[in-house]
Amino acid sequence: MCAHGETENVVIMGRKCRIDKCIAPIVRALNEGGIPTSMSCCGHGEGDGFILTYYQNKYRLLIVLEEGEKSLKHFDQVCRPMAEMFDNRRMKNESKSAS
């Protein structure tokens, strides 16, 4: 992750915005691909980074993890169980709909 203040210009909805340098390519690609972003931070090595988007009338929060073992452990401890919980909930709703 980059240090606080290391930024790069990214055009978002016609406005030039200062974005953390290490996630600027991701933010740029999302916006150029038609997925507008409204807020972002890389975390600067002190926590998880994030990118907030607004797409198809819904806000979506993208989590940006650092490379390395610590991030993989975080993913396994926090993100994977959350994804499994939503999958289980979705499967339960689908089986109710099929009945």
Res 53: pLDDT: 93
Res 76: pLDDT: 74
Same-domain check for residues 33 and 74: no
Same-domain check for residues 60 and 77: no
Residue with tokens 């931070």: 41
Same-domain check for residues 87 and 57: no
Domain count, the chain: 2
Res 18: pLDDT: 95
Q: Is the pTM of this model over 0.85?
A: no
Res 68: pLDDT: 66
Res 28: pLDDT: 95
Same-domain check for residues 52 and 80: no
Same-domain check for residues 49 and 76: no
Same-domain check for residues 29 and 73: no
- What string of DSSP letters covers 16-54? EEEEETTTHHHHHHHHHTT--EEEEE--TTSS-EEEEEE
Classify residue 75 by its DSSP letter. I
Distances (CA, A) of 74 to 1, 48, 62: 16, 10, 15
Res 34: pLDDT: 92
Closest CA to 19 of 63, 51, 59, 62: 51
The stretches in the chain having pLDDT less than 70 are 68-71, 99
Domain of 30, in residue numbers: 1-66
